[in-house]
Amino acid sequence: MNKNDLIKKAIKIMERAYVPYSKFPVGAALLTKSGKVYTGCNIENAAYPVSCCAERVAIFKAISDGEHHFTSLAVAADTKRPVPPCGSCRQVMSEFFDASTEIHLTNLNNDINSISMEALLPFSFQQEDLNKQ
């Protein structure tokens, strides 16, 4: 699965977004090292804060399926610039992605920003930080 095909899947899944409040669909497509793709869309709720972003839906679907090793993630929304993931999603990505995992941020004009996990969230809080000195 190449970058453009992964991006196409992220754009396609935008149509499943449940966004009655923001009317802002987002799609994500996550490629596992084993070659599987997990897609996700944002799912909102009348109690706004319990809504879930597309990226986390894709990651949680994969994790709940037993997949823990990822090559890349594509995220798409109808934005001017390639859509920047929110801080909560960056932190969730950093739990499961290697520093070099590629994240392809895009919009519907085919503007693409491919960025590594490390560049997207430097100095992230990690499992090792829970250890006392």
* Residues with catalytic function: 55
Binding of ligand THU by 19 (CB under 6 A): yes
Which amino acid is present at 57? V
126 token code pair: 């990690």
List beta partners, residue 12: none
Give the residue from 110, 20, 33 showing the smallest Cα distance to 73: 33
Binding letters toward ligand THU, positions 83-112, x by CB under 6 A: x-xx--x-----------------------
Binding of ligand THU by 58 (CB under 6 A): no
Q: Given the structure tokens 């196409």, which residue do they identify?
A: 8
Binding letters toward ligand THU, positions 61-80, x by CB under 6 A: --------------x-----
Calpha distance 45→43 (Å, rounded): 7
Q: Which residues bind ligand THU (CB under 6 A)?
A: 19, 22, 24, 26, 42, 44, 51, 53-55, 75, 83, 85-86, 89
